[in-house]
């Protein structure tokens, strides 16, 4: 059975995409730890990040850095945190979170009922920053 991320990638479930290329996508978390919380997800369904092919892992890191720069530009956080947890969905993915402190990476503080308008606005800010940085992979 396809993971929830595969269903989002395939358009079977909605997602607020900010990046699409031939190897991965990035979309906003539906349970954000902070505004702009973005997930970078390979198109290939691999459960554990240590099982990713080296070239794909490198690509995910490169895309994560580009999106991290955009999050920094768009949200002006103290730092952009990166986390690979992978327990909640059996499909490797990277969390990128604009943060003021380490407490902002605590999954227990996730917004379980975010305002859809706030998610849309955050996605627009990420896309605008990616466009300003000259990335053609920005997804509308």
User: What are the distances in angstroms from CA 22 to CA 26, 33, 56, 84, 122?
Assistant: 12, 27, 11, 21, 24
Return the residue matching tokens 């503080």.
109
**d(C-alpha 32, C-alpha 104), whole Å:** 10
Residues near 136 by beta carbon (within 8 Å), at least 6 away in sequence: none
Return the residue matching tokens 């490797």.
92
Q: Is 93 labeled as catalytic in the residue annotation?
A: yes
Catalytic residue (one of 93, 95, 103, 135): 93
Please list the active-site residues: 93
């Amino acid at each position: 059975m396809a993971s929830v991320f595969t269903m989002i990638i395939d358009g079977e479930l909605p997602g607020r995409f900010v990046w699409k290329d031939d190897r991965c996508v990035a979309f906003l978390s539906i349970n954000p730890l902070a505004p702009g919380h973005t997930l970078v997800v390979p198109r290939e369904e691999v459960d554990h990040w240590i099982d990713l092919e080296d070239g794909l892992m490198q690509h995910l890191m490169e895309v994560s850095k580009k999106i991290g720069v955009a999050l920094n530009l768009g949200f002006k956080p103290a730092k952009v945190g990166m986390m690979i947890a992978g327990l909640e969905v059996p499909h490797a993915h990277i969390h990128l979170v604009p943060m003021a402190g380490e407490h902002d990476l605590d999954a227990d503080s996730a917004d379980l009922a975010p305002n859809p308008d706030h998610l849309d606005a955050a996605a627009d800010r990420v896309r605008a920053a990616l466009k300003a940085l000259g990335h053609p992979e920005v997804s509308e």
